Structure 1
Amino acid sequence: MNRICSLLVNYSASICITLSLIACGKNESSTTSNIVEDTKPKSSTTVTNTKNVSAEKNIDQATQNKIQQEKDAKFVKAVLSSSSSSQSRLYNVEAVIPSQCYTKTEGKNNPCLTCHQFTFANEGRANRMDDGDLQGDYGFSDVGVKNHWKNLFEDRTERIAAIPDDEILEYINQDNYSALAPSLVARGWNGWVPDLADLQLGAQAFDENGFAKDGSGWVAFNYMPLPSTFWPTNGSTDDVMIRLPEKFRTTAAGKYDRNIYVLNLTVVEAAIKNFRTLSIPTMNEVALGFDIDGDNKLENAVSEMRRPTRYFGAAADEKVSTFLYPVGTSFLHTVRYIGVNDKGDIYVPKRMKEVRYMVKTEFHEKSMLGNFYAEEQRDKMEGNLPRYPTLGDKGLNNKFGWHLIGFIENADGHLRQQVYEENLFCMGCHTTIGSTIDQTFAFARKVDGAAGWGYINLRGMQDVPVYGETMGGIASYLQKVGGGNEFRGNDELQEKYFPNGKLDLAAVNKAKDVYELIMPSRRRALDLNKAYRTIVQDQDFIFGRDANIKPLKNVFESIDTEIEPLEKKFRSSFDMRLDWSKTES
């Protein structure tokens, strides 16, 4: 999954250094580069199998390791002490390239497909990235060929063993969300303040139709998590909520009306999925005063909406554009630990690893977005490194009309704003990759129509195929990737579904639902929680936030760009939308 390495125009002259200077490793006196020395300890196993020769020949290895760890701690502290907008000291200027892009594919195991796709013809999509060729070509810059995600190679087994089960269970069930908003207000925060009450309680914060009980306008929806980083068996539980601007929730007279809100949410869903019709809760067209199902008559009870050309109610002045959200649409995404009880049942716990927020502030026509994608390709050819306008308390501007900001745990478990480099990590997925729909993922994977409104619940959810395929989406992913995650490093799923190194489809098909397919055992859940807790304690997210228990084997430390990631026959198309019509009754 080889991320595009150069995303947008470099707007700061202070960072317009040439790749030749980077490669030569100029010292501080000879360049203004903000690329800093790689201070994270390297794994003893490298692509070239060469050995590092220590400059401190007279110091034993244990002492060297201690010195290196002290350097790391000081370096991380220096990065975290920078302001959230500071780009003056970066460890990894290519943080937009995620760790999964360094997977050893062996030419046949394809984790690239969930991100890098060719443009779908004759659909009128806004995404013109057309980067499916990256399944067969490492499009990395000279900086990007080096894997900066050093936490992938860390062995956490001893630290995990030292954390009692009761301690981690107590930790993950503590609420670290409720204090975030008051702390931001107290410091005179000028950006979005978390405004969904009791979100730490998960499903209890919403009614049965997904509407937040606090009246904030947030609506939870049920979706199948994107493979495979967001599968609980690989480290985290999560939830996603959507909110449309106030006028999408009100009548033409400006009065709040849930029916109007549901209709406009459904219009957005139909637009993003490019559907003509979708189911809705039963509504009375006569009472509402307009046609919903497109049959040119008013009826007392309809349960289907035909996609209109304009939104309903006070938003009637807004045109509907396929594959695009209206301005003011916002998403709230919380990434959490893995809740697990004594019986091994998995649930969404109170503690959050991250709180992520994005809001669409500008609308761009598809033709203009096409220019933005072309600009990205030009930057890539010119060797420009990725940079994004910083907005202080408002996060980063992704240059496609969205502002994004994230909060992550500090060492004692409280949520803090991400610094620039930590936020830069998010840009890799929410900017220029070919598979997204208006730079987003989850909403396109929502259960269709009325049945999909409500807090995420994978129990009873069937493994339906993505459009264009017949095999279940999870089963297909397992088959194409050759493992339970991008790195083929989930030992539990490898043993369960790949007993002889080959996918056992019969075993996959025995699973009664998505919950059974992608949930970890109690032991694995506890260990994954502990593994991530060590990253939180170290605060070294700039070296990676994957909660691997042991060093990963199927990962390169550097990339040989002369080698194709995948042989041609193993490259694959992937439409992230799911065909819920294939759900068996």
Structure 2
Amino acid sequence: MIRPALALLLSSAATAALAAEDLTTMDTAGYMATRPASLDMTLAGRRYNAEAPVPPQCYTRIEGHFNPCYVCHQSNTDGARPNFMQDGDLQEAYNFSEAGMTNHWVNLFVDRSAEVAGISDAEILDWINTENYSDLPARLERQDFGGWIPDLDGYHTGVAAFDGTGFARDGSGWVAFNYKPQPSTFWPTNGSTDDVLIRLPAAFRTTAEGVESRDVYMANLALLEIAFQDFEQVDLPPVNEVAVGTDLDGDGHLGRTTLILRRDSYLGGASDRPLQRMMYPAGTEFLHSVRYVGVEDGAITTPPRMKELRYMVKSTDLTIPQLRSRYGNELQEKLDENLPRYVSLGDRGMDNGFGWTLQAFIEDADGALRPQTREETFFCRGCHTTVGGNIDQTWAFPRKVRGAAGWGYIDLHGMPDAPNRGGTGGEIALYLARAGGGDEFRSNMEMIENWFADGKADAARMADKDVATLISPTPERALMLDKAYRVLVAEQSFLFGRDATVTPPVNVHAEIDEATAPTLLPEYRFAHDIRLDWDAVLD
């Protein structure tokens, strides 16, 4: 039997009524009752949002001087990074395709106050503290799933799944690292906690003879950090140079060391692989769990339940000329206002066109993780393909805490508000001043109350505060945002937006009118490096 929402979608008259230009003007209650869920669209073979890679935050009202956009959109005119997207103009104006001029993320315009009020604190706490990860691998195997299947035991337990230096206790090769969350979507105060893991290919985890070696693996991870940070040396957890077979610290003898110098190539079984500046070797994997905001004894935590589980693998090494060419093609496509295209790999996810494969899982209506639909994964390309701020399509690893202190499960407590490379002052304080609020829409009133005075970010009030203090919500706000997202899960309405909003944010466009939308004055546009100057704040 076809659901009423799907039947509505399949009729030509209803399809016209659901056209993007009508979504923000039609009766909200009527629309909410009839719109299809994500899986309905897939079943119908239809795509709702042709510009899904343009995230909701891109529709913020900049009003001539608010600029949260600089965090993602940059022009790399000096070739300092292997990212040639040259999209710094998106700080200035809404240079979207015709389809992108309509904000398809209509969940932003829905008031969920009644639904949120109907969920008790006890209910939501029980929900977020019930894990939904451990049964996923077996379910996928029973379905003959053809993509990557999660292979990390106990991941739902968070920090307990890793030792003190971030290595997964199950021997799977996954390594957790401590990093500073990117402003501001992944700040807990805006509705999600998360963690990111890395796994290098097998050759990087073995000696030249093919014997598995944690010492070799740790040394290669440190070399990757050197490659991304332009360091000449970096400290690392203790490594046995005898096991590696190399004098890592250059002191003339083999022993235990906590220092590694820059080299031209990796070590052990990967000694034939060159160290490439700001580029991962093919076969590198990332695992990213996006979770609810946990509350335990009044403190903010990373809870067991996952909203999403995201996986990336670098499937192809591309040279700098090849990357420059692909970015050039992407730029021309955007200049021509062509809609973005994607290559679906079925169960394996989606090819992002720049050497990476993206795959993800998201909660179904009952809270079990399910593979994302193609359009839900298409959304992921917005941050991991077509923006000028990322480095080799990633965000978290370039923001790792420097050296040995950065190997371990994410922990924001005690983490200083490090400035961006080339910048001065704390990054969070700077973002709040430039964005004019604690989120892109300037709707996080708790952040404004905490860190603003007379309508402006108060740097003095933020001085010497750690990252956890700066970006954690109160328990009350955390549970409210958890409840709002729980409503989205029940609706399965991710095609229309994933932001955990309770009431519609005011500072967001439903439609962009190129003739009247304010542009950003030159003095409010900024160059930005997502990497951080830890030396400025760490001993």
Q: How high is the TM-score relative to the length of structure 2?
A: 0.94
Q: Is the 8 A contact 1:40 1:150 kept in 2?
A: no
Q: 1:389 to 1:541 in 2, by over 3 A?
A: same
**1:95 maps onto 2:45 in alignment:** no
Q: Could you tell me which residue of structure 2 aligns to residue 404 of structure 1?
A: 358
Task: Tell me which of 451, 455, 458 is aligned to 1:504.
Answer: 458
Matches within 5 A, 1:219-238: 219-238=175-194
Using the TM superposition, give the Cα deviation of residue 112 of structure 1 relative to its aligned residue in structure 2, in angstroms: 0.6
Tell me how far apart the structure 2 counterparts of residues 379 and 348 of structure 1 sit (CA, whole Å): 40
Task: Tell me which of 41, 49, 68 is aligned to 1:111.
Answer: 68
SS at match of 2:20: coil
Task: Tell me which of 179, 183, 188 is aligned to 2:139.
Answer: 183
Task: Tell me which of 31, 48, 51 is aligned to 1:68.
Answer: 31
Q: Is the 8 A contact 1:118 1:132 kept in 2?
A: yes
Post-superposition Cα deviations, 1:299-343, rounded to whole Å, max 9, x if no partner, equal: 42432211211110000111111010000000000000011023x
Counterpart of 2:177, as a letter, is F
Post-superposition Cα deviations, 1:140-182, rounded to whole Å, max 9, x if no partner, equal: 0110000011111111111111101000000000010011111
Q: Could you tell me which residue of structure 2 aligns to residue 11 of structure 1?
A: none
**1:258 maps onto 2:214 in alignment:** yes
Q: Could you tell me which residue of structure 2 aligns to residue 9 of structure 1?
A: none
Matched positions, count: 527
Counterpart of 2:301, as a letter, is Y
Q: 1:271 to 1:138 in 2, by over 3 A?
A: same
Tell me how far apart the structure 2 counterparts of residues 435 and 573 of structure 1 sit (CA, whole Å): 10
Runs of 4+ deviating beyond 6 Å:
33-36
SS at match of 1:575: coil
Q: Could you tell me which residue of structure 2 aligns to residue 274 of structure 1?
A: 230
CA RMSD of aligned residues (A): 2.0
Tell me how far apart the structure 1 counterparts of residues 500 and 228 of structure 2 sit (CA, whole Å): 32
Q: Could you tell me which residue of structure 1 aligns to residue 322 of structure 2?
A: 368
Counterpart of 1:341, as a letter, is E
Task: Tell me which of 505, 510, 517 is aligned to 1:552.
Answer: 505
Matches within 5 A, 1:22-421: 37-38=19-20, 42=24, 67-72=30-35, 74=36, 76=38, 78-81=40-43, 88-119=45-76, 121=78, 123=80, 125-286=81-242, 288-294=244-250, 297-342=252-297, 344-421=298-375
Tell me how far apart the structure 2 counterparts of residues 380 and 584 of structure 1 sit (CA, whole Å): 41
Q: 1:114 to 1:34 in 2, by over 3 A?
A: farther
Q: Is the 8 A contact 2:184 2:190 kept in 1?
A: yes
Tell me how far apart the structure 2 counterparts of residues 171 and 80 of structure 1 sit (CA, whole Å): 27
Q: Is the 8 A contact 2:37 2:495 kept in 1?
A: no
Tell me how far apart the structure 1 counterparts of residues 17 and 70 of structure 2 sit (CA, whole Å): 30
Tell me how far apart the structure 2 counterparts of residues 503 and 460 of structure 1 sit (CA, whole Å): 22
Post-superposition Cα deviations, 1:408-447, rounded to whole Å, max 9, x if no partner, equal: 0011101111111111110011002111110000000001
Q: 1:564 to 1:267 in 2, by over 3 A?
A: farther
Tell me how far apart the structure 2 counterparts of residues 399 and 117 of structure 1 sit (CA, whole Å): 20
SS at match of 2:344: coil
Tell me how far apart the structure 1 counterparts of residues 17 and 347 of structure 2 sit (CA, whole Å): 24
Using the TM superposition, give the Cα deviation of residue 70 of structure 1 relative to its aligned residue in structure 2, in angstroms: 3.1
Q: 1:186 to 1:284 in 2, by over 3 A?
A: closer
**1:520 maps onto 2:473 in alignment:** yes
Task: Tell me which of 487, 494, 507 is aligned to 1:541.
Answer: 494
Structure 1: unaligned runs, 5 residues or longer? 1-26, 44-51, 53-63, 83-87
Q: Could you tell me which residue of structure 2 aligns to residue 18 of structure 1?
A: none
SS at match of 2:289: strand
SS at match of 1:144: helix
SS at match of 1:70: helix
Counterpart of 2:197, as a letter, is M
Tell me how far apart the structure 1 counterparts of residues 30 and 518 of structure 2 sit (CA, whole Å): 38
Task: Tell me which of 437, 442, 464 is aligned to 2:391.
Answer: 437
Q: Is the 8 A contact 1:35 1:92 kept in 2?
A: no
Using the TM superposition, give the Cα deviation of residue 267 of structure 1 relative to its aligned residue in structure 2, in angstroms: 1.1
SS at match of 1:581: helix
Tell me how far apart the structure 2 counterparts of residues 41 and 139 of structure 1 sit (CA, whole Å): 21
Q: Is the 8 A contact 2:227 2:279 kept in 1?
A: yes
Q: 1:560 to 1:67 in 2, by over 3 A?
A: closer
Counterpart of 2:55, as a letter, is P
Tell me how far apart the structure 2 counterparts of residues 275 and 111 of structure 1 sit (CA, whole Å): 29
Using the TM superposition, give the Cα deviation of residue 65 of structure 1 relative to its aligned residue in structure 2, in angstroms: 5.5
Using the TM superposition, give the Cα deviation of residue 510 of structure 1 relative to its aligned residue in structure 2, in angstroms: 5.3
Post-superposition Cα deviations, 1:343-402, rounded to whole Å, max 9, x if no partner, equal: x20111000000000000100001110000000111122232111110011000001000
Q: How high is the TM-score relative to the length of structure 1?
A: 0.87
Post-superposition Cα deviations, 1:273-300, rounded to whole Å, max 9, x if no partner, equal: 22221112233435533121246x2242
Counterpart of 1:89, as a letter, is R
Tell me how far apart the structure 1 counterparts of residues 171 and 23 of structure 2 sit (CA, whole Å): 49
Q: Is the 8 A contact 1:136 1:565 kept in 2?
A: yes
Tell me how far apart the structure 2 counterparts of residues 156 and 133 of structure 1 sit (CA, whole Å): 35
**1:579 maps onto 2:533 in alignment:** yes
SS at match of 1:196: coil
Q: Could you tell me which residue of structure 2 aligns to residue 5 of structure 1?
A: none
**1:448 maps onto 2:411 in alignment:** no
Tell me how far apart the structure 1 counterparts of residues 205 and 177 of structure 2 sit (CA, whole Å): 17
Counterpart of 1:558, as a letter, is E
Tell me how far apart the structure 1 counterparts of residues 58 and 134 of structure 2 sit (CA, whole Å): 35
Post-superposition Cα deviations, 1:35-62, rounded to whole Å, max 9, x if no partner, equal: 962398536xxxxxxxx7xxxxxxxxxx
Q: Could you tell me which residue of structure 2 aligns to residue 17 of structure 1?
A: none
Using the TM superposition, give the Cα deviation of residue 122 of structure 1 relative to its aligned residue in structure 2, in angstroms: 5.8
Matched residues, percent identical?
A: 49
Greater shift, 236-245 or 282-291, is seen at 282-291
Using the TM superposition, give the Cα deviation of residue 28 of structure 1 relative to its aligned residue in structure 2, in angstroms: 5.9
Q: Could you tell me which residue of structure 2 aligns to residue 60 of structure 1?
A: none
Tell me how far apart the structure 2 counterparts of residues 220 and 99 of structure 1 sit (CA, whole Å): 29
Post-superposition Cα deviations, 1:80-131, rounded to whole Å, max 9, x if no partner, equal: 535xxxxx411111001000110001111111111111216263x2111121
Tell me how far apart the structure 1 counterparts of residues 57 and 189 of structure 2 sit (CA, whole Å): 16
SS at match of 2:108: helix
Greater shift, 374-383 or 460-469, is seen at 374-383
Tell me how far apart the structure 2 counterparts of residues 294 and 186 of structure 1 sit (CA, whole Å): 52
Counterpart of 2:24, as a letter, is K
